[in-house]
């Protein structure tokens, strides 16, 4: 406390009582920084002394959210900070809320990267993140008249206290130019680049603090800056504006995060971003290796492994080849041997519209030398199939890295890596049996599964301190370091006295969320109602539409018979739609429109409320998840690679209503039929319909009155200002034959919701189920996942 007072005084010349929340926030961050800088230096030294193999996690996204609270927690200072702030008459939460979320990710993929960093440091692994310091993160979402409106997220408006600029470690990245091939006197080829555009990549390091273990790893984010040659003095107006223009276009490279989730667009600036990340990181990796290990580069794979997070950083493969050959004079064969031992690739989606393919002309123009290398990789790979797998010859067009004028990045990533993994069991199986079948035939040993995980420190210990404390009272605190020990809770699932305490914690969390909802929206919600939550990016395959159709159905039922005996339900949504995703935005509008009718209709006596919380992000998730009773995981089976929100909600005692998709399947396997609500088509059934047809949405429209009523309401303006307001949703279902099987799964979904409601009425059964879920959730700690990566792929050891 004294330290905090002294820091506030030093920084602002004020007493704490006069200081603003922001000033206190900064004073606290500097205490944490003082605490961790020595540990940061010491950690790097220890890795060096131990000659530790290094794992580099390359990702275009790191959705780290806010760090003050998790840093305090991991340093063991959170209780102290809470106490000091309270003693000084300040509300800790108000201080922590001063931090602007670092929203440097779209959704699951970026958040997974952030959870992995937390687990790597907490388990004392030498694993570090490499990404881009976007000046604008994912857009801020406002809802205006029910519509999503996007605002820029200038998260660096206030100084970011966790980053450390390392200008002296800047490197150059080159674009464009001409490649010249010369023959050296020894007969080998030399490649020279001329007239390239040089960009400076300046690193900003963020400390990643392990949980109470004095380990501090690094997240390095590269920022693009203009690079001025020595004699580049500014002469005259013309040159001056030219320079400004030039500078501006360079800074654009790390200007903003592309706000697209699950849909790929071949934008040149995005390609630039990818190469910028990859080139600066690989240069740094090689520099570090030379500095830290007295070994020849041919032995790089003994000390370095690079995980590429989806295909976005897959240009790292040709970039490594380029440096080894053009700068380190390796032959092709030797360079390829090293490269293919260093890279491992994680796939996060099988949706064809998300798979990256760049026009070959774009790569050739922007990165001529890299294009040459990809071309050569492709030639050799295709020849290999031709000679070694004659039975696959006719598959070459669908396997070639360059085909029909496009460069297929997933194919490049598979060919250039020693490991390819999916992110949940079913997802990996689909990769092996369908999407990447031919590659699996050639490289069966490369494919492996690593089911996703989440950090239980942020998502339970930090976000839900009441639950965490209660758990520790019951089973002790060992679960914090060994989350699988949550399983000991199973002994208590019948203990009524204890279940009541769990109930009490949930109720308090629900009250807190209800207050928050009231502050944000002015809507009152009763904390005795069922809090039913669907929070995730808005996408057709995630089927928020199925959820809102069910709500409309309930509303229609209540209108017909207001006295139905029903536990009040509050349906909470959080979801951002990609700015250009028209249909997704229509669904947001529909949810908000339904909310505006249902929430103010006195006839239904508050039995139903619909809350759309705008700007869903990490911090908002931390508020919603601890208060959830029901977790909606209702994607069309086969479409959700894994999901991770499902795990967070389970860990906080919410019961899942879900399809057999992604990691839901593994949750179901663990908790058993009686602790989860599963419904709907299976992945096999869905794939069978896609392949063989046989589904007609219109048949359901004609036979199911409930469905017809809803769709007609959409079409006839019952929800909306005018007829046809939601015509695109209507058409999509009836004229495009409901591509995500919303109508097909509608009936089982309603029926399963009835089971949910019945189960909720039986308090002890419900609480028992809830506790079962918490008990089994330790399996989904990212500590487990990271250990599996470390043992099977990275071959790295704990400090």
Q: Which is nearer to ligand 26W, 286 or 545 (CB)?
A: 545
Is position 260 an interface residue for ligand 26W (rule: CB under 6 A)?
A: yes
Q: Is residue 284 annotated as a catalytic residue, yes or no? A: no
Is position 537 annotated as part of the catalytic site?
yes
Choice among 348, 510, 607, 639 that is catalytic: 348
* Stretch touching ligand 26W by CB under 6 A, among 77-85, 101-109, 122-130, 705-713: 101-109
Residue 447 host element (H or E): strand 447-449
End-to-end CA distance of the chain: give it in Å, rounded: 33
The full DSSP string for 284-309 is: HHHHHHHHH--S-GGGHHHHEEEEEE
Q: Is 193 exposed, middle or buried (0-12, 13-18, 19+ CB in 10 A)?
A: middle
- Nearest distance, CB of residue 645 and ligand 26W, angstroms: 8
Cα–chain center distance at 563: 43
Q: How far is the CB of 410 from ligand 26W (least distance, A)?
A: 11
Given a contact cutoff of 8 angstroms between Cβ atoms, the answer to whether 771 and 489 are in contact is yes
Give residues 419-438 in contact with ligand 26W (rule: CB under 6 A): 423
Question: Which position among 203, 662, 680, 720 is part of the footprint of ligand 26W (CB under 6 A)?
Answer: 662
**C-alpha–C-alpha distance, residues 375 and 174, integer Å:** 19
Can you state the angle between helices 496-521 and 465-475, rounded to 10 degrees? 170
Residue with tokens 């759309």: 612
Establish whether 184 is a catalytic residue: no
Closest CA to 446 of 426, 425, 430, 432: 432
Tell me, yes or no, if 536 is annotated catalytic. Answer: yes
* Residue 262 within binding range of ligand 26W, rule CB under 6 A: yes
Q: Which of 118, 140, 163, 356 binds ligand 26W (CB under 6 A)?
A: 356
Q: Which is nearer to ligand 26W, 109 or 611 (CB)?
A: 109
State yes or no: residue 643 binds ligand 26W (CB under 6 A).
yes
Smallest separation (angstroms) from ligand 26W to the CB of 771 = 25
Q: Is 632 in the site for ligand 26W (CB under 6 A)?
A: no
CB of 436 to ligand 26W, least distance (A): 15
Q: Which is nearer to ligand 26W, 31 or 667 (CB)?
A: 667
Rule CB under 6 A: choose which of 69, 133, 348, 607 binds ligand 26W. Answer: 348
* Interface of this chain with ligand 26W, residues 301 to 340, rule: CB under 6 A: 310
d(CA 605, CA 569): 11
Concatenate the DSSP letters of all residues of 183-243 into one string. E-TTS-EEEEEESPEEEEEEEEEEEEE-TTS--EEEEEEEEEEE---TT----HHHHHHHH
* Of residues 95 and 424, the one with the C-beta less far from ligand 26W: 424
The reply on whether position 103 binds ligand 26W by CB under 6 A is no
Closest residue to ligand 26W in the complex (CB): 108
Spatial CB neighbours of 116, under 8 Å, sequence gap ≥ 6: 57, 127, 129, 782, 785, 786, 789
Token pair of 404 as six digits: 């029909």
Residue 279 or 309: the one with the smaller Cβ distance to ligand 26W is 309
Nearer to ligand 26W, 107 or 680 (CB): 107
Assess contact for 4 and 28: CB atoms under 8 A: yes
Provide the minimum distance between the beta carbon of 421 and ligand 26W in the complex, in angstroms, as a whole number. 10
Q: Which of 540, 614, 640, 738 binds ligand 26W (CB under 6 A)?
A: 640
644 binds ligand 26W (CB under 6 A): yes
Does 116 bind ligand 26W (CB under 6 A)? Our answer is no
CA distance 713 to 598: 14
Does position 636 interact with ligand 26W (CB under 6 A)? The reply is no
Q: Measured between alpha carbons, how far is 702 from 708 in angstroms, rounded to an integer? A: 7
Interface with ligand 26W by CB under 6 A: which residues? 106-109, 112, 260-262, 264, 310, 348-349, 354, 356, 423, 452, 640-644, 662
Residues annotated as part of the active site: 348, 536-537, 542, 644, 648
């Amino acid at each position: 406390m004294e330290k905090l007072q002294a820091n506030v005084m030093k920084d602002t010349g004020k007493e704490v009582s006069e200081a603003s929340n922001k000033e206190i926030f900064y004073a606290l961050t500097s205490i944490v920084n003082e605490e961790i800088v020595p540990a940061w230096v010491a950690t790097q030294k220890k890795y060096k002394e131990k000659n530790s193999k290094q794992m580099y996690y390359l990702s275009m996204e790191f959705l780290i959210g806010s760090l003050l609270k998790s840093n305090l927690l991991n340093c063991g200072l959170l209780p102290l900070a809470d106490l000091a702030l309270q003693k000084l008459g300040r509300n800790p939460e108000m201080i922590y809320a001063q931090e602007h979320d670092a929203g440097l990710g779209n959704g699951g993929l970026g958040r997974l990267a952030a959870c992995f960093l937390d687990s790597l440091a907490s388990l004392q692994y030498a694993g570090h993140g490499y990404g881009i310091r976007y000046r604008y993160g994912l857009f801020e979402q406002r809802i205006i008249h029910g519509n999503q409106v996007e605002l820029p997220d200038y998260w660096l408006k206030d100084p970011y206290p966790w980053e450390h600029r390392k200008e002296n470690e800047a490197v150059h990245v080159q674009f464009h130019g001409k490649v010249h091939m010369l023959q050296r006197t020894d007969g080998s080829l030399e490649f020279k680049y001329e007239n390239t555009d040089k960009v400076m990549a300046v690193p900003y390091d963020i400390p990643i603090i392990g949980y109470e273990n004095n380990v501090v790893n690094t997240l390095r984010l590269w920022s693009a800056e203009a690079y001025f040659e020595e004699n580049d003095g500014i002469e005259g107006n013309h040159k001056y504006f030219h320079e400004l223009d030039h500078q501006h276009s360079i800074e654009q490279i790390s200007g903003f995060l592309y706000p697209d989730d699950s849909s790929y667009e071949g934008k040149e600036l995005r390609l630039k971003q990818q190469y910028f990340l990859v080139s600066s990181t690989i240069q740094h990796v090689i520099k570090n290796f030379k500095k830290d290990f007295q070994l020849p580069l041919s032995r790089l794979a003994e000390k370095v492994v690079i995980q590429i997070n989806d295909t976005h950083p897959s240009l790292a493969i040709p970039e490594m080849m380029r440096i080894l050959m053009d700068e380190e004079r390796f032959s092709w064969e030797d360079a390829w041997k090293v490269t293919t031992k260093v890279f491992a690739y994680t796939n996060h989606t099988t949706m064809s519209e998300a798979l990256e393919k760049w026009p070959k002309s774009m790569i050739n123009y922007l990165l001529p030398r890299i294009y040459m290398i990809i071309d050569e990789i492709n030639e050799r790979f295709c020849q290999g199939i031709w000679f070694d797998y004659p039975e696959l010859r006719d598959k070459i067009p669908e396997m070639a890295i360059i085909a029909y004028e496009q460069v297929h990045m997933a194919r490049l990533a598979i060919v250039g890596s020693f490991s390819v993994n999916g992110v949940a069991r079913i997802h990996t199986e689909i990769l092996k049996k369908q999407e990447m079948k031919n590659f699996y035939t050639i490289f069966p040993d490369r494919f492996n599964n690593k089911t996703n995980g989440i950090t239980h420190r942020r998502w339970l210990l930090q976000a839900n301190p009441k639950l965490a404390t209660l758990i520790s009272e019951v089973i002790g605190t060992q679960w914090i370091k060994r989350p699988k020990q949550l399983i000991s809770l199973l002994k208590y699932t019948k203990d009524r006295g204890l279940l009541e305490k769990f109930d009490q914690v949930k109720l308090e969390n629900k009250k807190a969320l209800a207050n928050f909802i009231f502050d944000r929206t002015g809507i009152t919600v009763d904390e005795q109602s069922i809090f039913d939550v669907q929070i995730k990016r808005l996408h057709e395959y995630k089927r928020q539409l199925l959820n809102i159709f069910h709500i409309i159905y309930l509303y229609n039922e209540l209108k017909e018979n207001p006295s139905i005996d029903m536990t009040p339900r509050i349906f909470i949504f959080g979801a951002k739609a990609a700015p250009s995703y028209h249909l997704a935005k229509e669904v947001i509008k529909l949810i908000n429109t339904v909310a505006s009718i249902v929430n103010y209709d006195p006839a239904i006596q508050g039995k139903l409320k619909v809350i759309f919380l705008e700007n869903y992000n990490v911090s908002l998730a931390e508020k919603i998840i601890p208060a959830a009773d029901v977790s909606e995981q209702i994607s069309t089976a086969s479409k959700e690679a894994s999901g991770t929100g499902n795990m967070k909600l389970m860990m906080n005692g919410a019961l899942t209503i879900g399809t057999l998709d992604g990691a839901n399947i593994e949750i179901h396997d663990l908790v058993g039929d009686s602790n989860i609500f599963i419904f709907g088509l299976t992945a096999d059934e869905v794939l069978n319909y896609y392949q063989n047809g046989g589904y007609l949405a219109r048949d359901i429209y004609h036979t199911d009155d409930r469905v017809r009523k809803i769709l007609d309401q959409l079409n006839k303006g019952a929800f909306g200002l005018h007829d046809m307001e939601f015509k695109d949703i209507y058409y999509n279902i009836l004229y495009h034959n409901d591509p995500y099987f919303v109508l097909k799964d509608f009936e089982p979904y309603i029926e399963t919701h009835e089971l949910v409601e019945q189960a909720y009425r039986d308090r002890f059964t419900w609480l028992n189920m809830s506790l079962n879920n918490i008990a089994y959730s330790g399996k989904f700690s990212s500590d487990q996942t990271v250990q599996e990566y470390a043992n099977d792929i990275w071959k790295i050891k704990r400090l």
